[in-house]
Amino acid sequence: MRSVVYAAVMLAGLMTGCATTQGSTFNDLFIPDGEAIYERPLEELWPEVRTFFTENNLPFREDRGSLVLETEWRQEFGGSRVAGFFHRYMVLGKRESPTQSKLWIIRITKSVNNALRAPGSELDWGVSRVSQGGGGDDVGVAGLSVEDFGAYQGAPVGENSFIAGSGQGSRDLVMEWRVFRFVSPKLMKEENAPQPVKVAMALNAKAPAGVMDFECGLPILGLGKQVKPGAVLLLGEMHGTQEVPRFMAQAACQTAVAGTPVTVGLELPLENQTRIDAFLDSAGEEHDWLKLMEAPFWRSPYPDGRSSEAVANMLEQLRELRFRGLDVDIFVFDHPKAQGQAREDAMHATVRHQVESSPKRFHVILSGNIHSRTKKGLPWNKDFKPMGLLLKDSLGSVVSLDMAYNSGSAWICAVDSQGVKDSLDCGVREAKGRDNGDRFFLHTWGGTNGDGYHGVFYVGPVTASVPAVQKGLGRPGANDNSAAPVEAQPAEVATP
């Protein structure tokens, strides 16, 4: 409900420290269900808005006449070399009445790999925009003058607005309330303004980190309800997409920035733990990448999607967060030499040990969606007990979510087209899903379905991620083949 009373109550709660039991968690993980309304004319509010962006090192350009500003591009994960996604904020002042005002803050996204681009649209990379009737890189709208076209581009439409036809603009209520909590006490001349969010420091951190030092992507809807010390969130995925590793990195980033230590569990072979630990504590230089990628796992003849370029990039993004001061950790738990129930038992033991050894951390565990089920039995084995079921029985707080997605593609290994059971056919395959929008979210049902899932995590349209070694053994995506030069190969399409 949008009201002045709502804004006042929220501010009062933040002042007294009663807004949440998790300190700063409200700031970064919970999506507000109302707008922030200022009891000041827009002209009085605007100087403090400018101060917020200046003090948080967010350079901006401003149209003073219309009370609109736009920040410069920032890369996700603190400038990770492989993040691939950039964001900027467009801030629009809105007059509610002569004495009341509000802000609309639109987060605009662009991607270097076009993973988010809608068919037929182009992202705006430049500073200026020119309306063109056809051709060129700019998006033209017939019948609009240059001035009207600029206004058209700057006007958000609903909660998921489209900026410049790219489909990459979304209203960010979390950021709106973050600005509100900064600005309102100053306008009210309060001396007890909210303190900056404090985050944990990694041992090798370069400098203390602040909440605005990181671009963690658009807040994941529903994440805040799951994050608490000691909780375990199981995510059952379809291997081989770009979107799931990005979801994991964003969830870890947003959790850590909110002040909750987070541990990410990955279904990678246990013998890779030492290499991953060394990489996490490294500076991420080329030789650090080479040591990580030397493991046989990354060079399997049947890369099933867990050794994808997106997974390797996720490791880099988590390393960067840790290096810059956030309390982020990773462990691996697969026992590939075991089979059937023995493998589930071994994975359960490894995950349980990690969780029980660090009860004050939030654990988010990614595995194939058979392992994360919390119900006994499979169509071909009625007695099968998945890792998720074993964890639910042995740990106190376990929530298991199945992957939901919109149609696209994934890198999948399956029995070959001739039906030979001991041979796998790996490549890009069509993945059919259901459209639930472009926004990442978590949703629980209040119970479990037939597979024991408590709900779903949604990642939007999926895009296949090729094996990391397909571009050599150097940093994934660099295409430099620095260690073992190989001829660059196009993405392989699986046999129909």
Distance of CA 430 to the CA centre of its chain: 23
Task: Give the Cα separation of 308 and 412 in Å (integer).
Answer: 11
Identity of the residue numbered 128: S
What is the DSSP code string of 162-177?
Answer: -STTSS-EEE-HHHHH
Encode pLDDT of 400-417 as tens digits: 999 999 999 999 887 665
**Lowest mean per-residue pLDDT among 45-54, 81-90, 295-304, 315-324:** 81-90
Tokens of 395: 């740990």
d(CA 410, CA 440): 18
- Judged by phi (left if over 0) then psi (alpha if -120 to 50, else beta), residue 481 lies in left
C-alpha pair distances (Å), 202 with each of 209, 275, 323, 327, 329: 10, 18, 7, 5, 9
67 sits in the region (left: phi over 0; alpha: psi -120 to 50; else beta) called: left
Does the pLDDT of residue 112 top 90, yes or no?
Answer: no
Q: Report residue 297: phi and psi, to 5°.
A: -55, -40
Residue 482 burial (CB < 10 Å; 0-12/13-18/19+)? middle
**Which pLDDT score, from 0 to 100, does residue 417 have?**
56
CA-CA-CA-CA torsion sign (188, 191, 194, 196): positive
Q: CA nearest 297: which of 266, 326, 319, 327?
A: 266
Instruction: For residue 324, give both structure tokens.
Output: 């810059």
How many CA atoms lie within 13 Å of 242's alpha carbon, on the beta-carbon side?
21
Indicate if the pLDDT at residue 95 is higher than 50: yes
Token pair 């994440």 is found at 223
Give 211's pLDDT tier (boundaries 50, 70, 90): low
Give residue-wise pLDDT tens across range 420-442.
556 678 899 999 999 998 899 99
DSSP string, 312-332: HHHHHHHHHHHHTT--EEEEE
Backbone phi and psi for residue 219, each to the nearest 5 degrees, phi listed first: -50, 135
At residue 134 the predicted structure's pLDDT band, cuts being 50, 70 and 90, is very low
Judge contact between 458 and 443, C-beta under 8 A: yes
Q: Which tops the pLDDT comparison, 110 or 362?
A: 362
> How high is the pLDDT of residue 438?
86
- Which has the higher per-residue pLDDT, 102 or 143? 102
Helices (H) and strands (E) in the chain, counts: 12, 15
The yes-or-no verdict on residue 204 having pLDDT over 60 is: no
Tens digits of residue pLDDT in 44-90: 999 999 999 999 999 999 977 788 999 999 888 876 767 678 889 99
At 287, is the secondary structure helix, strand, or coil?
A: helix
User: What pLDDT, on a 0 to 100 scale, did the predictor assign at position 424?
Assistant: 73
Please provide the average confidence, as pLDDT, over all residues in the chain.
78
Asked whether the beta carbons of 261 and 202 are under 8 A apart, the reply is: no
Instruction: Report yes or no: 45 and 184 within 8 Å, Cβ to Cβ.
Output: no
Q: For residue 307, what are the CA distances in angstroms to 312, 409, 412, 454? A: 7, 16, 11, 28
Average pLDDT of the segment spanning 13-35: 52
Q: Can you give the pLDDT at residue 269?
A: 96
Q: What is the pLDDT of residue 98?
A: 87
pLDDT at 423: 65
Residues contacting residue 148 through CB under 8 Å, at least 6 positions apart: none
Let me know: does 478 contact 408? Beta carbons within 8 Å: no
Q: What is the pLDDT of residues 269-288, one digit of tens each?
A: 999 999 999 999 999 898 99
pTM of the model: 0.75
> What pLDDT does 137 receive?
36
Amino acid (1-letter code) at residue 471: K
